[in-house]
Amino acid sequence: MKVERMVDLSFKKLMEESEEKRGSNIILALDSVPSSESGNLLSVSLKILDEAHSYVCAVKLNRHLLLPLGLYDGVKRIVEKAHSLDLPVIMDCKINDIGYTNRVIAENYFNAGFDAVIANPFVGWEDGLQPVFEVAKEMNRGVILLVYMSHKASWEGYGQMIYDSKTGEKKPQYVAFAEKALAWNADGAVVGGTYPEKIREIYAILKEKVPIYSPGIGAQGGDVKAAVSSGARYLIIGRAITLARSPGEAARFFRDAARKS
């Protein structure tokens, strides 16, 4: 059954309403699932979604399922299932190419039903991410910018010091990206939950204007309380839920932990 997304709501509003309705700020990263056979990936993924959906406010997908299942085949069925459960769906594609290619990428994901895409601000605005924001506006979808990643080597790129030619100042790359999230009116900013000090610093720039999405909770060592108290609005959790003996119970555990934070 094909389920149409709620096109009358902006992505930010879609997320806010889902968060309020479900009493959860947990986003299920339906990436790694306990199946090595591509034929089982779809059924296993749908089963996890069925078990965990009551305790999450959105779903995020990456290439783990896209590559073996196909965008307009298995992945689209997952998107439609999530929509039937009133859950927004985010594509973690980290768009990072020239403008023409970026627009084509965004259009394909939006046409497959995704409510938002994650993009990498390294490519800049003009002939970079501008077309992504334009098509998102045309189709009433969201764009979330990658400001600081969750893995150990994040500092090599996102933490490097750069020279701002406009102000003549030196600043960390992630500060410049946070400023771009504001200037470009992004719908969110990804900041690794493994770095609560970076969340605090970036939240001080974004305030409540651009919500922070924090991955890396659980399997990568990120802590729910530390991330939320530092300013994270949404927590992206994957393996700690998808690989758990009971994904539903794991999702409820993280939802409750976030509520107490």
In DSSP notation, 245-260 reads: SSHHHHHHHHHHHHHH
Note whether 195 and 167 are within 8 A (CB): no
Whole-number pLDDT of residue 166: 82
Q: Which residues of 145-168 are buried (b: 16+ CB within 10 A; e: fewer)?
A: bbbbbbeeebbeebbeeeeeeeee
Find the catalytic residue in 12, 47, 76, 94. Answer: 94
Supply the pLDDT for residue 146: 97
**Please, are residues 218 and 196 in contact by the beta-carbon 8 Å criterion?**
no
The pLDDT, as a whole number, for residue 36 is: 56
pLDDT of residue 104: 98
**Dihedrals φ, ψ of 222, to 5°?**
-70, 145
Question: Does the model's pTM come out above 0.85?
Answer: yes
**For residues 216 and 234, what is the distance between their CA atoms, to the nearest angstrom?**
12
Tokens of 169: 């100042």
Pairing of strands 142-148, 188-191: parallel
pLDDT at position 2 is 40
The C-alpha atoms of residue 139 and residue 111 are separated, in whole angstroms, by: 9
> 67 is written with which tokens?
């590559």
Radius of gyration in angstroms for the set of CA atoms belonging to the chain, rounded to a whole number: 17
Instruction: Record the tokens describing residue 204, joined without a space.
Output: 């001080």
CA distance 41 to 64: 10
Rounded to a whole number of angstroms, the distance between the first and last alpha carbons of the chain is: 38
Per-residue pLDDT at 141: 98
One of 3.20.20.70, 3.60.20.10, 3.40.50.150, 3.50.50.60 is the CATH number of 11-260, namely 3.20.20.70
The answer to whether residue 260 is catalytic is no
State how far the Cα of 129 lies from the Cα of 123, in Å rounded to an integer: 7
Predicted local distance difference test score (pLDDT) of residue 44: 92
Which residues in the chain show pLDDT less than 50?
1-3
Q: What does the alpha-carbon distance between residue 131 and residue 39 come to, in Å, rounded to a whole number? A: 36
